[in-house]
C-alpha cells in the first residue's frame, strides 16, 4: 500500500499530527457512528464499542433540541440532552474528568443542525453554558457542529468550545481554520464507486487528493455517504480516510479490532528454490508428504504475497484439488482428514486410524515397513496430535494422548518428532526402551541415528518467532538418516501451528508458520532433484478460518485478510506434487485417493 498520512487524534489530543501509516494504525477510535440515534441504544452502543466519533442530528422545537433524522421521527423524550449530553457528563464524573478511563483517549460528538442553525446553535449554547460546564471545559470531548453550519466568517460569533465541520471547497483564514474540527466530504462528489472491487484510478486519485488537502491543513477527514461493508472500509483506509462512517457498529468494531491480527507486513523474504526438473525415475523409492494443517489456496496465496511473489510450493508443476469431508460430517477435523491419507478410508470426526465402526486400519507406515521402507513423522504440534497420530495409532478418541503415544512403541515408525503431550511414567519409558526407542527432549542434541527415536521437544509447538528453524532442522536430520535406507523412506512433516493460529484468528502468525513450512518444502524439492527417485507432496487435511484476502501488495509483502470463522470449513484443499510419480496428483479427487496414489507411485499394491 502506498504511504499516506494518518491523523493521530487519540494519542496527541485533537491537534494535527501525521505519520506514514498502515492498516494497523487504525482502531475502533477511527470509527464514526453515523446517525447514531438510530441504534437500539444510542450513544452507549458506540461508546462501549470504543468508537472515537459519534453523530447526533438535532431539530429545535418547543424550546428543546430533539433528536432525529426527519421531523416525523421527533418525540419529546428523545432529546440531545437525555441521549448524549447527560451520558457524557456522567462518564466525565465517573472517570475524574476524562471521557474514558484512559485519560489520553478522546471522543468527538458531531451535532448536526438539521434546520436553521440561527435558532438551533443559540439554543445549544444556552443549554451547554447553563448545565454542562463539565463538558465544555473538558479537553477529552470535542463538540463539532455539522450539517447547516454558519459561514466561516461567523465562527467567531460562537464560543471557543464549539468547532465546525470543514468544507474542502471553501477557503479559511488561519483563525477560521483553527475552529474547523474536521473535514467531512460526500464520497459521491469524488466517485461513483459502489464499494465493490476498487475505485477507478482517476476517482481514487480524487479521493486521495481530498485526503491530502485536509491533511495539508492539519485536519482529519471522513467521507459520508460511503458504502458500508468490509471491502469499502478497506478501500477508504487505503485512501487515507481518518474516520470510517458506519451504521453497523458491531461489524465495524469487530473488523477494526481484528486488524492487528489480520494484517501481515513482511520484513524479510527468501528466494524460493529453483527446481531443476531432472528426468525422474518412473517409480518412486521415497515419499515426502508435507501437510500444512488448515491451509487452502487463500492461505497459500497470502504466503506467496508475503514473500513478495515467491513460494516453493507454487513451483511444483503438478496440482490437484482434494475433497475434505469425513465419513460423518461435511466439515472434517484433522483426525479423519489425515486418516484418509494414511489409510485410504474415510472415517468419522475424532477417529484416528480406525474406520467408522472403530476397527483399526492398516496404515501407510505399516504397509511400507513390510517392504523395508522406513518412516519418520514430524510435527510442529505435539507428537500425539491427530495428524501424526493418524500414521501410527488407532483410537476413536483423538484426545486420548496417553493411549495414542503408547501405540508408537508397536508402530514400527522409526522417528517421531514434535512437542510433548504427556509426562511419561517410568513404566512407559521402560516399554519404549524395550522397543529400542531412544527418548529425547531436545531435537538439537537428539540422536536420530539410533534404532528408533522419540523426540518430544517443547520448542516444537512454539510459534515460529520463538521456535525458529526447528522444523527445517528436524526435517533435514530426519531426511539425512532415513535416506540411508536402501529400500527407501517415507516422511510425513506437518505444519501444525498454521491451523492453531487460524483457530485463534492470528492470521499474521499463520503466515509466518506457512513461510517456515515452505522453506522445508524447498529443501524436500532440492533432495528430489538430487535423488531423482523421490516424490514430494504438499497438501492439507482441511481449511481453517474461512480466509478472505482483502488487500495486499506483492512488491512489499503486505497482506490484509479477514476470517469468517475460527473453526474448520468444508473448502477443498490444493494438492501440489513434484518428483517421481507427481503426475498422478493432477485432478479433483477424494482425500482418500492420496493414499492410493502414493502406493501407486511406489509400485506397491494396497
Ligand-binding annotation for 77, yes or no, is: no
Phi, psi of 173 (to 5 degrees): -75, 165
Ligand-binding annotation for 267, yes or no, is: no
| SS3 call for 181 | strand
Please give the helix or strand (H or E) that residue 368 lies within, else none: helix 364-369
The whole-angstrom separation of Cα 178 and Cα 165 is 11
Please give the helix or strand (H or E) that residue 497 lies within, else none: helix 497-503
The whole-angstrom separation of Cα 435 and Cα 478 is 19
Ligand-binding annotation for 394, yes or no, is: no
Evaluate whether 144 touches 110 at the Cβ level (below 8 Å).
yes
The whole-angstrom separation of Cα 550 and Cα 560 is 6
Interhelix angle for 507-531 vs 470-482, to 10°?
A: 20
564 is catalytic: no
> Strands 558-563, 263-265: parallel, antiparallel or unpaired by DSSP?
antiparallel
Ligand-binding annotation for 494, yes or no, is: yes
Phi, psi of 118 (to 5 degrees): -65, -25
Ligand-binding annotation for 568, yes or no, is: no
Ligand-binding annotation for 541, yes or no, is: yes
Could you give the count of Cα atoms lying within 13 Å of 470 in the half-sphere of its Cβ?
30
Ligand-binding annotation for 25, yes or no, is: no
Q: How many residues does the chain have?
A: 606
Task: Enter the C-alpha cell of residue 194.
Answer: 459502489
Please give the helix or strand (H or E) that residue 297 lies within, else none: helix 297-306
B/e letters for 515-525, b = 16+ CB within 10 Å, e = fewer, are bbbbbbbbbbb
Please give the helix or strand (H or E) that residue 291 lies within, else none: strand 286-292
Name which of 274, 245, 259 is nearest 32 in CA terms: 245
Ligand-binding annotation for 499, yes or no, is: yes
The whole-angstrom separation of Cα 19 and Cα 83 is 35
- Among candidate residues 53, 326, 334, 342, the one labeled active-site is 334
Residues annotated within the binding site for Zn(2+) are: 293, 499, 503, 541-542
Residues annotated within the binding site are: 293, 385, 387, 494, 499, 503, 541-542
Residues annotated within the binding site for Mg(2+) are: 293, 385, 387, 494
Catalytic residues, by residue number, are 334
Amino acid at each position: 500500500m502506498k504511504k499516506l498520512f494518518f491523523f493521530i487524534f487519540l494519542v496527541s489530543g485533537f491537534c494535527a499530527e501525521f505519520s506514514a501509516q498502515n492498516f494497523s494504525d487504525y482502531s475502533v477510535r477511527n470509527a464514526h457512528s453515523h446517525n447514531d440515534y438510530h441504534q437500539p441504544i444510542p450513544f452507549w452502543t458506540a461508546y462501549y464499542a470504543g468508537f472515537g466519533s459519534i453523530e447526533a442530528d438535532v431539530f429545535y422545537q418547543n424550546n428543546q433540541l430533539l433528536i432525529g433524522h426527519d421531523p416525523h421521527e421527533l418525540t419529546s423524550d428523545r432529546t440531545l440532552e437525555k441521549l448524549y449530553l447527560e451520558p457524557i457528563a456522567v462518564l466525565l464524573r465517573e472517570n475524574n474528568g476524562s471521557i474514558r478511563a484512559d485519560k489520553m483517549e478522546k471522543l468527538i460528538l458531531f451535532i448536526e443542525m438539521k434546520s436553521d442553525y440561527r435558532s438551533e446553535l443559540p439554543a445549544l449554547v444556552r443549554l451547554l453554558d447553563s448545565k454542562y460546564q463539565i463538558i465544555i471545559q473538558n479537553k477529552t470531548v470535542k463538540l463539532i457542529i455539522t450539517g447547516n453550519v454558519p459561514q466561516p466568517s461567523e465562527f467567531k460569533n460562537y464560543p471557543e468550545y464549539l468547532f465546525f465541520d470543514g468544507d474542502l471547497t471553501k477557503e479559511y483564514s488561519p483563525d477560521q481554520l483553527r475552529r474547523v474540527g474536521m473535514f467531512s466530504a460526500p464520497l459521491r462528489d469524488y466517485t461513483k464507486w459502489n464499494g465493490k472491487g476498487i475505485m477507478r484510478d482517476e476517482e481514487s486519485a480524487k479521493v486521495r487528493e481530498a485526503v491530502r488537502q485536509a491533511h495539508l491543513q492539519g485536519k482529519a477527514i471522513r467521507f459520508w455517504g460511503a458504502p458500508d461493508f468490509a471491502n469499502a472500509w478497506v478501500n477508504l483506509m487505503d485512501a487515507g480516510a481518518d474516520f470510517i462512517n458506519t451504521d453497523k457498529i458491531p461489524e465495524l468494531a469487530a473488523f477494526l479490532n481484528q486488524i492487528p491480527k489480520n494484517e501481515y507486513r513482511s520484513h524479510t523474504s527468501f528466494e524460493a528454490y529453483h527446481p531443476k526438473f531432472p528426468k525422474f525415475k518412473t517409480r518412486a523409492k521415497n515419499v515426502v508428504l508435507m501437510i500444512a494443517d488448515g491451509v487452502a489456496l487463500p492461505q497459500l496465496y497470502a504466503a506467496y504475497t508475503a514473500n513478495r511473489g515467491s513460494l516453493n510450493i507454487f513451483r511444483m508443476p503438478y496440482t490437484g484439488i482434494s475433497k475434505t469431508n469425513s465419513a460423518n460430517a461435511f466439515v472434517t477435523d484433522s483426525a479423519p482428514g489425515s486418516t484418509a491419507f494414511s489409510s485410504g478410508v474415510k472415517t468419522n470426526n475424532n477417529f484416528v486410524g480406525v474406520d467408522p465402526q472403530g476397527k483399526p486400519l492398516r496404515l501407510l507406515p505399516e504397509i511400507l515397513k513390510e517392504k523395508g521402507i522406513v518412516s519418520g513423522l514430524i510435527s510442529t504440534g505435539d507428537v500425539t496430535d491427530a495428524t501424526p497420530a493418524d500414521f501410527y495409532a488407532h483410537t476413536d478418541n483423538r484426545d486420548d494422548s496417553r493411549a495414542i503415544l503408547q501405540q508408537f512403541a508397536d508402530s514400527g515408525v522409526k522417528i517421531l518428532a514434535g512437542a510433548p503431550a504427556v509426562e511419561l511414567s517410568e513404566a512407559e519409558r521402560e516399554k519404549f526402551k524395550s522397543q529400542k526407542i531412544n527418548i529425547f527432549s531436545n531435537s538439537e542434541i537428539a540422536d536420530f541415528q539410533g534404532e528408533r527415536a522419540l523426540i518430544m521437544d517443547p520448542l516444537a509447538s512454539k510459534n515460529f518467532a520463538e521456535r525458529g528453524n526447528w522444523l527445517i532442522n528436524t526435517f533435514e536430520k530426519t531426511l539425512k538418516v532415513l535416506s540411508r535406507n536402501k529400500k527407501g523412506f517415507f516422511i510425513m512433516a506437518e505444519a501444525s501451528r498454521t491451523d492453531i493460529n487460524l483457530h485463534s484468528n492470528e492470521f499474521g502468525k499463520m503466515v509466518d508458520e506457512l513461510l517456515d513450512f515452505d522453506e522445508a518444502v524447498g529443501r524436500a524439492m532440492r533432495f528430489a532433484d538430487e535423488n531423482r527417485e523421490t516424490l514430494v507432496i504438499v497438501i492439507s487435511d482441511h481449511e481453517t478460518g474461512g480466509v478472505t484476502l482483502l488487500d495486499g501488495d506483492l512488491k512489499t509483502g503486505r497482506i490484509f485478510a479477514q476470517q469468517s470463522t475460527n473453526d474448520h470449513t468444508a473448502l477443498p484443499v490444493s494438492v501440489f506434487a513434484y518428483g517421481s510419480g507427481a503426475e498422478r496428483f493432477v485432478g479433483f479427487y477424494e482425500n482418500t485417493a492420496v493414499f492410493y496414489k502414493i502406493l501407486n507411485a511406489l509400485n506397491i499394491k494396497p
